[in-house]
Every structure is written in C-alpha cells, then in structure tokens.
Structure 1
Amino acid sequence: MTIKSYDELSSLELDTLKEIGSIGTGNAATSLSALIGKTVRIQQPEVRIMEYNEAIEWIGGPEPITAGVLVGMSGQLSGIMLSVQQLDFVNLVLESMMEKTIQDYLALQELERSALTEVGNIMISTFINALSGLAGLDIELTVPAFTVDMQGAIMAVPMAEYGGQSNYIMTIGGNFICNGKEIPCRLLLSPDIRSLNFLLRKLGV
C-alpha cells in the first residue's frame, strides 16, 4: 500500500521506523563518544511522527535560540536530516574538544562552529549509514550547513522543503548520558513521501 502522508503510517510501519531510530541514535552516540573521547550512551530514544508545529514545541518552542546542523539526502532516499544542538550539547562538545564553554551562542567563533558542524555531520552520517545498511539503500549526503537561529526559524527549512507534501516529520529524541549528566539529543528526519514509501518497501513493511 502506498501512503500519501506520514499520518497514514500503520502501527507496523511506525514500529519499524522506531526500530531504525533506536539503532541510528545508538550509533550516533557511539560516534559522539569517539569524537569527544568520553563514554556516551543514550537513553531509549522516543521516535514519533509529529506535525511541524508540534515538533517545534517538542524541541522547546519557536523562540529559544539554538544551533542546527542540516544535511540533505539524495540517491535512493531524498530528504533532509536536522541535528538540533541545544546549549548543553554544545558545551559538552566544546569542553571535551577545546576545553571551553560558552554562555551564549553569540560567543561561538569560526573554529567552534566548524567543530560543531563536524560533530553534527558525523552523527547524522552515522545515523544514515545505519539506515542505509538496514534497508540496503544507496544514500548520498550533502555538505552540512550550520546555523544559529530561533528554533522556529530552523524548523522552517523542512517545512518549506516538504510542507507541501506532508505536515508531518519524523522526530527522534532522547538524552545522551555523559559523566552522569543528561544531555538532550534531538534529531529530525524528513524523507519525501516517495522516499518514505520506497524505504518501507525495502524494509519489507
């Protein structure tokens, strides 16, 4: 059965996507651990299909300033993936890699931005590699883009790109655990509807 929108997904299809989300975030935590030289694990992630406005509230509302790393997907799966880097996550990376922290995103210099871009890119790439391995897909990724803006503005990118096809997006969230501290992990995956149907067929659901 071909679906026309995320909200048409069956319980079996949702469970399959949740399993992918769980495996992908586990791999992302492993890659983050290797990058920062600290043990990082992730709590059981929550994978949900949300409307865009609901997803904005899920990451803390439209007005807070945050950082985001955006990567486009092409090949057998088209769409975008976004890593939302809230301040606790930013400081975990900067403290581990550069022995510094910031109080405000405006304090980010070019070197710190480059480090955060690379970390976000590697986490997304690791997630997508797990997805492509599970489904047997050939997925190409674009050069990552880093931005600092209000969360509502960052979320406007997938809305503008795919809002005409569906008002829903796949959200993957949990908390990284590092040195006994919980650090929010927020990933948003938005394949276009054609790609979503192709992915589900490749997964046998």
Structure 2
Amino acid sequence: MNLDKEKKDILKEIANIGAGNAATAFSTMVDQETKITVPRIELMPIEELPEITGSQEDYIACTLINFDGELSGKILLVLEMDSVEKILHLLFGEGELPGTEIRNSALRELGNILSGAYLKAINIFSDLNLSQGLPAVAYDMAGAVLSSSVIDYSQSGDEIILLETEFIISEKKLELYYFFIPEEKSIDILFQHLMGDNLA
C-alpha cells in the first residue's frame, strides 16, 4: 500500500471529522465537554500491531468490529487500561465500578459509537455505504490479544492504517488507537472513491 502525502492528507481530514463526531457523541455519554488532538496518521506493518502501546506485555482493552457494504474489513479500537479506567469512572462516577458484564457492555457501546463516528466520516467522503456489525470486547496482554486478532487479518495485506487521537475530558487524557483495516481488495476501491481522477 502506498500512502503518499495526498492520500495521507485525505485520511487526516477524515480522521479529524471522525474524531470530532466521536468527541460529540462521547460528550453526550459522559455529559462533559470533550476535546481532541489532531489525529496522527500512520501506515503500519501489521506485525508491529502487538507492540502499539509500547510493549507486548501491556495489558489492554480492545473492541473489534466488522464492516461491510461496498468494502469489507475490520475496525479495531485499542485502549490502555488506565484510559479504560478513566472512561469507566466518567460513565459511572468515582465510586466502586459495576461488575464485569456491565463494564463490558459499556465498552462495547463506546466502541460502537466511536467506530460509527469514524465510519460515518468515511461514508461521507467516499460516497460509500458501509455498515458495521456488533463489537466484541477483549482484555489481555497486547501481544496475546492483538496477535490472535492478526490471524484474522490475513486478507488485509501487510499493512494497516492507524488513526491515533487523544480525547481530553476534564483535563484527563484518553489515548485512542483506531485501526481501519479494509481487506486488501478493498483498499484500492476506497481510494478510488476518495480521490477519483486524482488517484495515481
């Protein structure tokens, strides 16, 4: 996959709008103003995914969502556990957190809202009609959970697109790693729709 400056600029604009949509939705969830940093766009070798947080031994939470339509693939959201804890306290207050089932339900809903916000931006820019499935939530060391996920990405080629954004709520920073992983045959279709005659 060749991610030149023009393609990167388009993805950054999509990421800005997607993150803005996500921040608005998240503000509604927690009833607090949410700010965002400028997203970082990176084309990343898929084998480096288990080290995205710095170490394969870092304990993380992630949601995995399939999307389909004119394109198909997966959306992966990765959060370090300190960000997960901050989010849960924003949702449920500073006291004792609810049980595992309710926490997982909250993270699935968060993943559903955030991925939907980005997917909506992609749909608008590309004039595609992509829809998402139900999110699955997993907790484990990054090396274990992300390596097992990579097995399912074998049709996605050797590289994936990372859109990294920080959400800032009441001076709390929440770092979000958002991976848009179209199947290999879908990536050319995506950029054809995004760039039209400008596609090199």
TM-score under structure 2 normalisation? 0.88
User: In the aligned structure 1, how far is the partner of 2:42 from the partner of 2:185?
Assistant: 19
**CA pair 81-102 structure 1, distance change in 2 beyond 3 A:** farther
2:50, 2:147 within 8 Å by CA — same for their partners in 1? no
State yes or no: 1:35 paired with 2:26: no
Match of 1:138 in 2: 129
The answer to whether the Cα contact below 8 Å between 1:68 and 1:84 also exists between their aligned partners in 2 is yes
Deviation, structure 1 residue 158: 4.7
Give the 3-state SS of the residue equivalent to 1:203 in structure 2. helix
The answer to whether the Cα contact below 8 Å between 2:51 and 2:143 also exists between their aligned partners in 1 is no
Q: How does 1:46-195 map to 2 (within 5 A)?
A: 46-100=40-94, 109-195=100-186
What SS does structure 1 have at the residue aligned with 2:160?
strand
- Please say if residues 158 and 190 of structure 1, whose CA atoms lie closer than 8 Å, have aligned partners that are also in contact: no
Give the drift of 1:165.
4.4
Paired residues of 2:75 and 2:180 also in contact (CA < 8 A): yes
Residue 26 of structure 1, CA deviation: 2.1
Question: Which aligned runs of 4 or more in structure 1 are off by greater than 6 angstroms?
Answer: none
Checking the alignment, whether the CA contact within 8 Å between 2:51 and 2:142 is kept in structure 1 is no
Contact 1:72 1:142 in 2 (8 A): yes
The CA deviation at 1:151 is: 1.2
- Structure 2 contact 78–176 (Cα < 8 Å) conserved: yes
Distance 1:57 1:16, change over 3 A: same
Give deviations 1:44-99, integer Å, cap 9, x for gaps: 11010011233433322211111111100111121100111222322232112212
Distance 1:187 1:165 in 2: 16
Structure 1 gaps, min length 5: 1-5
Matches of 1:101 and 1:24, distance apart in 2 = 31
Shifted more, 21-30 versus 50-59: the winner is 50-59
What is the total number of aligned residue pairs between the two structures?
196
One-letter amino acid of the counterpart of residue 63, structure 1: E
Q: Secondary structure at the match of 1:72?
A: strand
After superposition, the Cα gap between the structure-2 partners of 1:38 and 1:88, relative to the gap in structure 1 and judged at 3 Å, is farther
Amino acid paired to 1:161: D
The one-character-per-residue Cα deviations of 1:134-170 (angstroms, maximum 9, x if unpaired) are 2111112111101111212332255212335422111
Q: Residue 53 and residue 100 in structure 1: after superposition, are their counterparts in 2 closer, same or farther (change >3 A)?
A: farther
Query: CA 1:63–1:191 in 2, change beyond 3 Å: closer, same or farther?
Result: same
Tell me the TM-score normalized by structure 1: 0.86
The change in CA–CA distance for 1:83 and 1:122 in structure 2 (over 3 A counts) is same
Alignment RMSD (CA, Å): 2.1
Same amino acid, percent of matched pairs: 29
Is this contact kept in 2: 1:121–1:144, CA < 8 A?
A: yes
